[in-house]
Amino acid sequence: MTKRVVLAYSGGLDTSVAIGWIAAETGAEVICVAADVGQGGEDMNEIRQRALDCGAVESVVLDLKTEFAQDFCLPALRANALYLERYPLVSALSRPVIAKHLALAAQKFGADTVAHGCTGKGNDQVRFEVGIGAIAPELDVIAPVRDSGMTRDKAIQFAEDKGLPIDQSKRSPYSVDQNFWGRAVETGFLEDPWNAPIEDLYSYTSDPAVAREPDDVVISFVDGVPTAIDGRPVTVLEAILELNKRAGAQGVGRLDMVEDRLVGIKSREVYEAPGAIALITAHQELEDLTVERDVRRFKFSVEQRWTELVYDGLWFSPLRSALDAFVDSSQRHVTGDIRLRLHGGKAVATGRRGEGSLYDFELATYDTGDTFDQTLAKGFVQLWGLPSRIAARREQRLAK
């Protein structure tokens, strides 16, 4: 029986070149698996045909949008996952769902090897290989672009020489990865961090500097799950898609940053994530209203570690699952509404309410009706500061 390799196929330069490399180097038949995670603007049937035109013996397209939204984006939202407090894990979230289905495809088609088109510099090689190893440790994994040492310009030349049907060219050398949680753009002139991004790079967002009327939107949550927009019931996927349009139209979610990659180098990335940023902003605001102080403080550290694990390719790790249990518990009362004003590239909360609220007007007010007993505060302050005073007296005594 001819050896078979299942290739994670995006339709782009690297994976198109990888089909021919695998066939030449291993003699194996290549089966391409393209995952639809809401790339937007791409015809998945064209991508399927492109794989066949590039030499694949079989090509399948999987609609993973609902699964991606519910099982991957939602946990990230409830964890307020922002790497380096900015990046909402656009690519890092899609890789584990793709890895899962690559392993399933290998089982279905009788393949003993899975391949991906990542380079040796990026994070995605780790996300794919560690993820597949956690799901199906019996599978081998190869990375044709990385293992062949093919640079981007050589890959472009290879594609042109072979007449591969790809959109890449020397005149437009950007690398773009996108799904409905966001869009990432890198390489080309962006590799010089002094160069400012140009407007042509953006696709999900409009120029925030252009004057337009603000958009006020009310996002409703039940136990940390977005369930309605402006009172109209939505699924998680529908909430993301609608806010991509509305927040994107206001220029919300543009990020230009230098980030720390897992392999130890710094990388300049330009991101667009209008729906993700709007939802995370609203969710954080509702948590501020509904989550008890010590739980909220501790959750900040959980969020950071959760985000690092996912960014570093450890979605299937026992620690992430354990942290999920804490996050799930913390969401029991994150129920209510947040009103956001989307305008000028920002999503700003202008209203908060909910049955899970811990805000007590009678305790918070400084006006008539205040029920807070201020006579208790003096003793509280004295006892709270007692350890510091004792330590200060010791320092004074020893200084003498």
Binding site for ATP: what residues are annotated?
Answer: 8-16, 35, 117
Residue pair 199/230 in contact by the 8 Å Cβ criterion = no
Dihedral angle sign, alpha carbons of residues 265, 176, 321, 107: negative
Distances in Å between the Cα of 216 and the Cα atoms of 246, 347, 349 are 10, 9, 9
175 noted as active-site residue: yes
| Active-site residue, from 48, 78, 95, 146 | 95
Residue 177 annotated in active site: no
- 298 closest CA partner among 283, 286, 287: 287
Which of 36, 53, 71, 175 is an active site residue? 175
Which residue from 109, 137, 99 is spatially nearest to 5, judged by alpha carbons? 109
* Binding-site annotation: residue ranges for L-citrulline: 87, 123, 127, 175, 259, 271
Q: Are 257 and 87 in contact (CB under 8 A)?
A: yes
SS (H, E, C) 90-117: HHHHHHHHHHHHHHHHHHHHCCCEEECC
CA 45 to chain centroid: 25
Whether 140 sits among the annotated catalytic residues: the reply is no
Residue of 4, 124, 177, 337 marked catalytic: 124
**Cα(84)–Cα(271) distance, rounded to whole angstroms?**
13
Cα separations in angstroms, 211 against 25, 90, 308: 55, 28, 37
Among this protein's residues, is 14 annotated catalytic? Answer: yes
Q: At what angle do helices 377-384 and 386-399 cross, to 10 degrees?
A: 40
Do the Cβ atoms of 240 and 279 come closer than 8 Å?
yes
> Binding site for L-aspartate, residues?
119, 123-124
Annotated binding site: 8-16, 35, 87, 117, 119, 123-124, 127, 175, 259, 271
Residue 234: phi, psi to the nearest 5?
-140, 155
Question: In terms of C-beta density within 10 A (0-12 exposed, 13-18 middle, 19 or more buried), how is residue 71 classed?
Answer: middle
Q: How far apart are CA 219 and CA 342, in angstroms?
A: 12
- Report the catalytic residues: 14, 95, 124, 175
